[in-house]
């Protein structure tokens, strides 16, 4: 099953949209302005619809099936979210309208800022960042500026555990700071001795993913945050794994100074094939003046509350145009309103039950390095099957596709060999998890008896295994019309 490119079904003279006639006199276009050609496709509306519907049928989404992609929190996205974001009063509002004409949207943002601050245990929240990594950059820039404002410009190091998300070191580098990697100990925690060895007056802070990418809640969390603070540094929390601790604990109360939320993971906004997301950042009282803005503030008037834009006084600046990904905020707001405190806690509990259940059922066949501990909402197994030495995590993943499942995250975190990072989320039923286990066990059996079946998988996907090496060595990054040979 392949689908031609839209350029290949193009035929001169077709158009897939209707436009109004010009109802004013024509103006002259200055000489030399106009382009000669615009080689976009020429297709009818029906061509557009069929083309993109066929492409959609070659795509696997949460609405198609189980998507245990570790660290990505691919939970079911309630349909009410889509209806809410498309309300004309939200979708058809210009960001630069006078505040008096957008009080409803600003009220929603103000409430969401408050909800997120409450859930995370923070003093203030900015909604501006567009994604988790964008929130990381925001957080690190804030930490840096806060310390530099205090005259501590000798602080240039950020400590990042080896179990952190891959974007943490990259965000640090972008902010002009140096990354020091901290190893994990044999229980999957941050190695305390290694941490202490690096804690000096050159440390800006620690970026901690907790629960970490091994799916473990650090057993020394309070000691870690205390040690970093004693060294004059700050603790950044990567909130990508927040789904595990929603309503269970508040990072802001446990020593985190900054944390980003992934609205597109924890708060049920669909991931859109890789975006848009949204990465609000929550901070402690001391860091609140450094937030990127504007943020929404509430003023009390005789007619009730009025919402205004306010730029925090020591702001690092804007990180994005306008106010952030408002459409995503509407979805997250809707979700939090429907769940409330109890519902959010139930999310974390069921996400953790589901993960531990899967781990318990799979660990006898797929080794789990830290299986002696309870995991949080995800765990890391290894694609190493006894009696099948040539079979790798990649082969198992591709074979899972044949059984109708999206594969887990592969080869991440980097500290586990042949890693398969599995995150079921709370929105899957026991029946679905059992079906997944059955498939995984069957694949292990196939790995021993017919490994070739795995090496050549997938067999039932729209395309067979794709040659990624060729794509990188001989990059073809756009379509070019092949000229007919004369």
Partner 1 sequence: MNYIPNSDADRAAMLEVIGVQSVDDLFRDVPAEYRYPKLDLPAPVSEMEVLQELQALSEENIDLDHVACFLGAGAYRHFIPSVVDFVLSRSEFYTAYTPYQPEISQGTLQAAFEYQTMICELTGMDVSNASHYDGATSTAEAVIMALNVHRHRRRKVVLSPAVHPQYREVVRTYTQGMGLTIVGDDGVGNGPEDLAALCDEDTACVVVQYPDFFGRVLHPDRLRALAEDVHARGALLVVVANPIALGLLQPPGACGADIVVGEGQALGNPLSFGGPYLGFFACRQEHVRRSSGRIVGETVDAEGRRGYVLTLNTREQHIRRARATSNICTNQALNALAAAVYMSALGRQGLRRVAELCYHKAHYAAAQISALPGYSLWSQDFFHEFVVRCPKPIEEINRYLLEEWGIIGGYDLGRDYPELAGHMLVCVTEVNTRDDIDDLVEALREVAEQEGER
Interactions with partner 1, residue window 361-390 (CB under 8 A):
361, 373-374
- Which tokens in the block code for residue 308? 């205004």
* End-to-end CA, the chain: 32
**Residue 21 token pair:** 């006639």
The only residue of 192, 198, 229, 276 in contact with partner 1, by rule CB under 8 A: 276
CB-wise, 370 or 446, nearer to partner 1? 370
Applying CB under 8 A, does 172 fall inside the site for partner 1? yes
Instruction: Using CB under 8 A, pick the residue from 66, 68, 69, 416 that binds partner 1.
Output: 69
Q: How far is the CB of 281 from partner 1 (least distance, A)?
A: 13
d(CA 266, CA 246): 8
Applying CB under 8 A, what is the total number of residues that bind partner 1?
A: 202
Q: The tokens of 480 are what?
A: 């070019």
Site for partner 1 in 281-300 (CB under 8 A): 292
Strand order of the sheet with strand 419-422? Answer: 379-382, 419-422, 409-410
The secondary structure element, H or E, covering residue 147 is helix 132-149
**What whole-number distance in Å separates Cα of residue 214 and Cα of residue 415?**
9
Shortest Cβ 193–partner 1 spacing (Å): 20
57 sits near partner 1 (criterion: CB under 8 A): yes
The Cα 423–Cα 200 span in angstroms is 36
Residue in 68, 139, 144, 212 binding partner 1, rule: CB under 8 A: 144
Q: Output 195 or 425, the one with its CB closest to partner 1.
A: 425
Nearer to partner 1, 235 or 330 (CB): 330
Q: Tell me the residue length of the chain.
A: 486
Binding mask 436-455 for partner 1 (x = CB under 8 A): --------------------
Distance CA 86, CA 356 (A): 37
Q: What token pair was written down for 270? A: 């669909």
Out of 183, 272, 305, 389, which residue is the one contacting partner 1 (CB under 8 A)?
272
Question: Which residues between 203 and 232 bind partner 1 (CB under 8 A)?
Answer: 216-219, 221-222
Query: Using the rule CB under 8 A, is 415 a contact of partner 1?
Result: no
Stretch that binds partner 1, among 133-141, 295-303, 378-386, 441-449 (CB under 8 A): 133-141
Indicate the helix (H) or strand (E) that contains 217: none
Should residue 185 be labelled a site residue for partner 1 when binding is judged by CB under 8 A? Answer: no
Q: In this chain, which of 123, 192, 194, 254 binds partner 1, going by CB under 8 A?
A: 254
Convert residues 32-51 into a mask of x (bound to partner 1 by CB under 8 A) and - (unbound): xxxx-xxxxxxx-x--xx-x
Binding segment (CB under 8 A) for partner 1, from list 227-235, 296-304, 339-347, 446-454: 339-347
If phi > 0 it is left, if psi is from -120 to 50 it is alpha, else beta; for residue 317 that is: left
Residue 282 to residue 120: CA distance in whole angstroms:
7
Q: Which residues within the stretch 72-101 sit at the binding site for partner 1 (CB under 8 A)?
A: 72, 74-78, 80, 82-98, 101
Q: Check binding of 194 to partner 1 (CB under 8 A).
A: no
Among 365, 401, 441, 453, which residue sits at the site for partner 1 (rule: CB under 8 A)? 401
Give the nearer residue to partner 1 in terms of CB position, either 248 or 308. Answer: 248
List the structure tokens of 178: 């140096």
Cα angle at 235 between 342 and 270, to 5 degrees?
A: 45
Least separation in angstroms between residue 197's CB and partner 1 is 18
CB 203 within 8 A of CB 231: yes
Query: Which residue, 96 or 486, is less far from partner 1 as judged by CB?
Result: 96
Burial class (CB within 10 angstroms; exposed 0-12, middle 13-18, buried 19+) of 323: buried
Q: How far apart are CA 200 and CA 444, in angstroms?
A: 48
303 binds partner 1 (CB under 8 A): no
Q: Is 56 in the site for partner 1 (CB under 8 A)?
A: yes
Q: How far apart are CA 441 and CA 366, in angstroms?
A: 9
96-125 residues near partner 1, rule: CB under 8 A = 96-98, 101-105, 107-108, 115, 118-119, 121
* Cα–Cα distance measured from residue 183 to residue 130, given in angstroms and rounded to the nearest whole number: 30
């Amino acid at each position: 099953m392949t689908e031609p490119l839209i350029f290949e079904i193009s035929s001169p003279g077709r158009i897939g949209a209707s436009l109004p006639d010009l109802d004013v006199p024509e103006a002259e276009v200055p000489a030399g302005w106009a382009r000669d050609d615009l080689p976009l496709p020429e297709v009818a509306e029906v061509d557009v619809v069929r083309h993109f519907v066929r492409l959609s049928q070659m795509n696997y989404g949460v609405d198609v099936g189980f998507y245990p992609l570790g660290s990505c929190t691919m939970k079911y996205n309630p349909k009410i979210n889509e209806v809410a974001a498309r309300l004309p009063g939200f979708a058809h509002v210009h960001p630069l309208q006078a505040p008096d004409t957008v009080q409803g949207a600003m009220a929603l943002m103000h409430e969401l800022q408050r909800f997120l601050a409450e859930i995370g245990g923070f003093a203030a929240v900015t909604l501006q960042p567009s994604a988790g990594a964008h929130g990381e950059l925001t957080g690190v820039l804030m930490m840096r500026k806060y310390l530099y404002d205090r005259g501590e410009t000798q602080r240039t190091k950020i400590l990042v555990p080896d179990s952190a998300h891959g974007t943490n070191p990259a965000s640090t580098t972008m902010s002009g700071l140096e990354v020091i990697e901290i190893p994990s100990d044999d229980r999957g925690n941050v190695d305390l001795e290694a941490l202490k060895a690096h804690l000096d007056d050159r440390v800006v802070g620690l970026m901690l993913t907790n629960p970490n990418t091994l799916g473990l809640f650090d057993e020394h969390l309070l000691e870690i945050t205390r040690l970093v603070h004693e060294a004059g540094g700050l603790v950044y929390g990567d909130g990508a794994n927040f789904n595990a601790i929603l309503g269970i604990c508040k990072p802001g109360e446990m020593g985190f100074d900054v944390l980003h939320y992934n609205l597109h993971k924890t708060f049920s906004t669909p991931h859109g094939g890789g975006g848009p997301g949204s990465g609000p950042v929550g901070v402690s009282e001391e860091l609140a003046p450094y937030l990127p803005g504007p943020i929404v503030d509430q003023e009390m008037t005789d007619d009730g509350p009025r919402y205004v834009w306010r730029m925090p006084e020591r702001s690092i600046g804007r990180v994005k145009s306008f106010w952030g990904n408002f459409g995503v905020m509407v979805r997250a707001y809707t979700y939090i309103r429907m769940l409330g405190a109890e519902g959010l806690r139930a999310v974390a509990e069921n996400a953790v039950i589901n993960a531990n259940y899967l781990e318990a059922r799979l660990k006898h066949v797929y080794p789990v390095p830290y299986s002696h501990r309870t995991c949080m909402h995800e765990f890391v197994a290894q694609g190493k099957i006894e009696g099948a030495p040539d079979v790798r995590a990649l082969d198992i993943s591709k074979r899972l596709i044949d059984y109708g499942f999206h594969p887990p995250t592969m080869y991440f975190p980097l500290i586990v060999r042949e890693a398969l990072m599995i995150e079921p989320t709370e929105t899957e039923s026991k029946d679905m998890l059992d079906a997944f286990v059955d498939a995984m066990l069957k694949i292990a059996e196939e790995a021993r008896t017919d490994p070739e079946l795995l090496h050549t998988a997938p067999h039932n996907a729209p395309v067979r295994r794709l040659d990624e090496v060729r794509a990188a060595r001989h990059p073809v990054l756009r379509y070019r019309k092949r000229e007919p040979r004369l």
